[in-house]
């Protein structure tokens, strides 16, 4: 690792990770910065540069509206690869989302940055697992179109860490908790046990990532003397307007910091 890294604040190092376009390089610098942060080699200081509206990402995959994504059957290799690619794209975006939280939101407790650096590191690990599996199927990241829903919500929540914690980890990423068991079963039925094992790892870790969002959402609500459950409901109604409907994986969501009242609200919306 270059000594140049050690002269940077965590904010500047996180911004560098955010701007890197090549996926393999983004994974490498993510691991480097996480190691330096944990070793105490980086200061907490904020970034000295303006943050980009668009994170670093490769020219491929092409980004399209969700309705334009082709549907493929998992009984074909191409169909399984398309599903794995969609999850790989989510994990790549999640690396950017974690680093964006680190360099965008300043003057929070050191534990906030500890948590999101660890999330970035785990998302990079997930990306590598999925990319390796794509390679085994004869494909790589970028071979299928994808959508940009996660980053679009990051842009909408860039003004406030409370809103970001509520709507990205606790809505979009929490939805992943709900749908992953079904994907695992479908992949198991077609004999893709390697993909099933990878999704087991991702599901385990994502419970923790959503829990990080829950923890800091409640911390910020308490700091501002807001009722967290009412605030969460108001944000859901303001940003999603009934679009959060669907069966919930209640056990995983409870582990990830949701209250029974919040789950009842989501189920009724």
- For position 169, which CATH number holds? 1.20.1260
- What pLDDT score does 220 carry? 98
Residue 117 or 6, more confident = 117
Is residue 201 situated within a structural domain? yes
Domain enclosing residue 195, as ranges: 73-268
C-alpha count within 13 angstroms, C-beta hemisphere, residue 143: 17
Is residue 246 situated within a structural domain? yes
Residues facing 146 on adjacent strands: 63
Q: How far apart are CA 50 and CA 85, in angstroms?
A: 31
pLDDT, the chain, mean: 93
Is residue 119 situated within a structural domain? yes
Q: Do 137 and 81 form a contact (C-beta atoms < 8 A)?
A: yes
What is the number of structural domains in the chain?
1
Is residue 2 situated within a structural domain? no
Residues 190/194/199/204 CA torsion (nearest 10 deg): 140
Mean predicted confidence (pLDDT) in 127-145 = 97
Residues 157-189: tens digit of each pLDDT: 999 999 999 999 999 999 999 999 999 999 999
**Residue 230, helix vs strand vs coil:** helix
Is residue 40 situated within a structural domain? no
Is residue 10 situated within a structural domain? no
Is residue 63 situated within a structural domain? no
- What pLDDT score does 106 carry? 92
Mean predicted confidence (pLDDT) in 199-216 = 98
Q: Give the percent of the chain with pLDDT over 90.
A: 82
Indicate the pTM of the whole model: 0.94
- What pLDDT score does 170 carry? 97
- What pLDDT score does 3 carry? 44
Is residue 56 situated within a structural domain? no
């Amino acid at each position: 690792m270059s000594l140049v890294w050690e002269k940077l604040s965590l904010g500047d190092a996180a911004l560098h990770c955010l701007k890197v376009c090549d996926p393999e390089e983004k994974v490498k610098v993510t691991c480097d910065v996480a190691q330096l942060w944990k070793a105490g080699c980086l200061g907490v200081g904020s970034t000295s540069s303006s943050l980009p509206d668009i994170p670093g990402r490769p020219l491929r995959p092409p980004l399209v509206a969700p309705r334009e994504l082709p549907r493929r059957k998992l009984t074909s290799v191409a169909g399984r690869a398309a599903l794995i690619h969609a999850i790989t794209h989510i994990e790549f975006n999640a690396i950017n989302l974690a680093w964006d939280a680190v360099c965008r939101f300043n003057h929070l407790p050191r534990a906030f940055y500890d948590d999101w650096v660890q999330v970035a590191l785990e998302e990079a690990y997930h990306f590598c697992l999925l990319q390796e599996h794509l390679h085994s199927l004869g494909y790589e990241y970028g071979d299928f179109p994808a959508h940009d829903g996660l980053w679009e919500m990051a842009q909408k929540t860039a003004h406030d860490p409370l809103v970001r914690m509520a709507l990205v980890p606790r809505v979009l990423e929490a939805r992943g908790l709900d749908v992953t068991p079904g994907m695992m079963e479908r992949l198991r039925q077609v004999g893709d046990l390697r993909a099933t094992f990878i999704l087991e790892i991702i599901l385990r870790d994502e419970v923790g990532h959503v829990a990080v969002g829950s923890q800091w959402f409640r911390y910020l609500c308490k700091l501002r003397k807001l009722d967290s459950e009412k605030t969460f409901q108001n944000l859901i109604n303001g940003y999603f307007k009934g679009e959060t409907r669907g069966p919930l994986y209640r056990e995983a969501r409870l582990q990830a910091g949701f209250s029974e009242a919040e789950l009842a609200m989501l189920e009724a919306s």
